Structure 1
Amino acid sequence: MLFRVAASATWLTFFTIATHASGQFSKHTAQFHFESDISDDQFENHYNEPGFELNLDDIRLVQFSLDEDAIWITERQKLHAKAMGKKYLDITDAPSNFGLLFEKPHFSYPPPNSSLVAPMLPLLSIEEMKINLEYFSSFRTRYYNSESGRASSEWLLQKIRNYTAELATPEQKALISVEPFYHKWKQASVIIRIAPNDSAGSDPITILGAHCDSINKENPFLPAPGADDDGSGTVTLLEAYRTLLKFKYIPTTPLEFHFYSAEEGGGLGSQDIVAAYEAEGKVVKGMQQYDMTAWVASGSEETVNIITNGVDAELTQFLTLLVDRYLDIPWVKETTPAGIGSDHLLWNRAGYQACHAFEGLVAYGNNDNIHTHRDRIDASHEFSFSHVHQFAKLAVAFAVELSS
């Protein structure tokens, strides 16, 4: 394994492992070229920040494209790739039979027709989302293997439990569980489950997901408020859940809200959860990811960007119908260039039907601020809570249309 830094470019040579049907492994090398002046020690804890557990020499198995073999690299090299804008999945701890335990049923989605969604939407509160995001982005960082990352997920868990205690009816409370999902690292994921009394364990689940971690790509020990990425998606789902409680909504099939830890580490938290659900034989009717919902670039049209790669085509088409019916802005479709995206990919990879809607066209995204100390609510007038409000409408619509 070679990691060589030059003045004008960084070259990485890796051992690549490909799994074949016979169960045997073959090895070859692959070379990636990053034009960069990043030094080898940039990601060290030069600031002596306490509360982190980060071994930069840990060896990880990473996939940069769904169409390419996975490669062994160090945690330091993962951070270098993140700094250069490279997206990846970290599949080091994925079970060897991930996605293969059983054949997933395929669902079709009729056009949206619920009479419950429209009267719920006026209950959504922009002010509530702003209050929540101001607090959630006040943690110095939500890096998944830090004490502040742990504290942020503990706050999120308690906030959800407070909503449930204050707003849920006795009938709803009997159906709701709010639990942390613990991982090998410090920050937990959080899962809300609303399951009807007569719902068997095999009933299909509707899942809405967002990731609750953040990272500073320049150095993980630096501040990373993560207001847009993905604090905005987190408060979108928080507000959708609060609205369902206020409306006294009870689904007919199980409904879950997931807040994933360690997405920025390569989908680590959602990978753990997908593996656990598959091992338990859980059936998923549909999963939608909310990763960044706040940015509207100056001079661009306000839209919902429906991602077309790494998703289920039928569920994605259903998503466009939800936007048409319930939102005040149009949708556009885009194929993202990298081939690796957010937590929905882990569900898709395991054979479940998943989809993803993004805050706008990638070219007009919050590209200069995310993964830095500048990802704040007050970074620009382009940070729009009215845009987050549109995605909260979509979350309510997706949750109710698929679970009622």
Structure 2
Amino acid sequence: MKFSASFVLLAVSAVFATANPLQAVLLHNEPHRVASSQDALLERITELSALNADPVELYKLVDPEGAAGLDEPRLLHIWGEEKAEWLTEGDKLRLHRQGLKFTDITETRELGNKNKLKVQAITEFPKISYGTRVRDVISHLSVHNLRDNLEKLTSFFNRFYKSENGAASSHWLYLQVLDIIAKADPSIPLSIRKFTHTFPQSSVIARFEPKHPSPNRTAAVIIGAHQDSANYLHPLLPAPGADDDGSGTVTILEAFRALVERKFTPEYPVEFHWYAGEEGGLLGSRPIAAEYEALGRDVRAMLQFDMTAYTKANHTPTVAFITTDVSTPLTEYGILLAEEYADYPVQRKRCIFEVRRSVLICLRNFFFLGAKLFPRAGSDHMSWHDAGYIAAFATEGDPYTEFDPYVHTANDTMYLPNGEFSFDHALEFSKVAVAFAVELGGWV
């Protein structure tokens, strides 16, 4: 949905140092007026919250015209539940308020049906053999680039997938990727695609084509992150989304830039995906995975990066791999890559638990290669997993003991106390992304 005319006076867009018109999405780009509009919005929502705490009713009070689509029926699979159920677009806001995540399968109910006919049990992966080239690319990764890109990305008031700000932030990201490609050596076969959806925000796909295409090497290696953000108190509130998942977004953007700079020419297609609408129920990645399945396109492996920069105070920073709704062999291979190329230890602890609706009960801990979540509690890798492709999920730490408490709030920023937001941490995941691209994509 687009914000109604009545809401435009309250809505705010990001304002950066330059005069790029994309940086002022709605009315103006004067910083003092933006700050004033932000204050007005927050004051308005605070006032109306006292009248009605329900996020749907609050939305109707703040922006009646813009809230018209909240009654739209949606088929949602709440994470932790066995079956999907018909709810509404507005119910997503209520689920977020309750801390319950979900997958929206309304338009992708057939995902995975076609691939059921194919053998997906890939258990062997290539021997790690590109050490010199991987380390050369890694040496050109930059913490400064991570910081600069995230500072700009989090300048948007929020990146809510149904808003003009969500559309503008995705276009800004598209332009960053396009600029990297424009500066590439002409001998590198590269392409970029803006994958549009039924909502304003677009997904972005960049692709390294094989230098010597072969019918035996058409399966794509995919590296992904989600670009949208959400304030679970209310979607019209600020959501800088620095960690979730601005960190993953810039992590793979920096890996992509370094690979382009070092003239990466793979044997297999290698793709970088920045998904829209993850917070709306995997609304960006599911249609993309469905398209690949419908077209009969093969995927060699997919790795998602969701939250890569938070380091809990007094905890050892790690590279973690989630073990739920993933390919176990691919996860183990990802761990091998992290152990080979990253400087941080790999997370090996997980929790065995029970889940009753939203209540998680940890029964016992033991050491294992990865960190476990309750079923369906993950990220965009699940779209590829559901489509019958092998996928894995890398993140910043154990979700039960090291989870970032600031996500989905206005406080999910780069400026956390005690140095808990770490670009050095995020850079370790850029190293893993580079290794995943090169070791699985090959290098001619």
Q: Same fold (TM over 0.5)?
A: yes
Partners of 2:149 and 2:64 lie apart in 1 by 26
Matched residue, 2:175 = 158
Please state how far the C-alpha of 1:306 moved relative to its aligned partner.
1.1
Unaligned residue ranges in structure 1 (runs of 5+): 1-36
Does the residue aligned with 1:242 lie in a helix, a strand or coil?
helix
Please state how far the C-alpha of 1:46 moved relative to its aligned partner.
4.2
Partners of 1:266 and 1:372 lie apart in 2 by 18
Matched residue, 1:195 = 209
Matched residue, 1:282 = 297
Letter in 2 for 1:328: D
Query: CA offsets per residue over residues 298-356 of structure 1, 9 Å max, x none?
Result: 01111111101100011000011011101111112211135321000010111100000
Please state how far the C-alpha of 1:105 moved relative to its aligned partner.
4.2
Please state how far the C-alpha of 1:48 moved relative to its aligned partner.
4.2
Structure 1 residue runs of 4 or more that deviate by more than 6 Å after TM superposition: none
Matched residue, 2:422 = 384
Query: CA offsets per residue over residues 55-113 of structure 1, 9 Å max, x none?
Result: 21111101123761111111221111112211111101114354424415443213422
Aligned residues of 2:55 and 2:233 also touching (Cα < 8 A): no
Which of 89, 110, 113 does residue 129 from structure 2 map onto?
113
Q: How does the TM-score come out when normalised to structure 2?
A: 0.78
Matched residue, 2:89 = 75
| Comparing 367-376 and 93-102, the one that deviates more | 93-102
Q: How does the TM-score come out when normalised to structure 1?
A: 0.86
Which of 390, 400, 406 does residue 363 from structure 1 map onto?
400
Matched residue, 1:330 = 345
Letter in 1 for 2:387: A
Aligned residues of 1:43 and 1:218 also touching (Cα < 8 A): no
Partners of 2:147 and 2:101 lie apart in 1 by 29
Partners of 1:348 and 1:66 lie apart in 2 by 16
Does the residue aligned with 1:236 lie in a helix, a strand or coil?
helix
Letter in 1 for 2:125: Y
Matched residue, 2:157 = 140
Partners of 1:377 and 1:265 lie apart in 2 by 23
Does the residue aligned with 1:378 lie in a helix, a strand or coil?
coil
CA 1:123–1:90 in structure 2 vs 1: closer, same or farther (change >3 Å)? same
Partners of 1:203 and 1:184 lie apart in 2 by 29
Please state how far the C-alpha of 1:39 moved relative to its aligned partner.
2.8
Partners of 1:351 and 1:124 lie apart in 2 by 33
Partners of 1:324 and 1:119 lie apart in 2 by 17
Please state how far the C-alpha of 1:40 moved relative to its aligned partner.
5.8
- How do residues 196-235 of structure 1 correspond to structure 2 at under 5 angstroms? 196-199=210-213, 203-235=218-250
Partners of 1:217 and 1:204 lie apart in 2 by 37
Partners of 1:46 and 1:193 lie apart in 2 by 44
Aligned residues of 1:53 and 1:145 also touching (Cα < 8 A): no
Matched residue, 1:398 = 436
Letter in 2 for 1:157: Y
Partners of 1:54 and 1:356 lie apart in 2 by 36
Aligned residues of 1:304 and 1:360 also touching (Cα < 8 A): yes
**Aligned residues, how many?**
364
Does the residue aligned with 2:95 lie in a helix, a strand or coil?
helix
Aligned residues of 1:90 and 1:268 also touching (Cα < 8 A): yes
Matched residue, 1:309 = 324
Partners of 1:46 and 1:134 lie apart in 2 by 32
Letter in 2 for 1:109: F
| Comparing 37-46 and 145-154, the one that deviates more | 37-46
Aligned residues of 1:322 and 1:398 also touching (Cα < 8 A): yes
Partners of 1:312 and 1:220 lie apart in 2 by 33
Partners of 2:224 and 2:112 lie apart in 1 by 20
Aligned residues of 2:112 and 2:388 also touching (Cα < 8 A): no
Letter in 2 for 1:121: I
Letter in 2 for 1:305: A
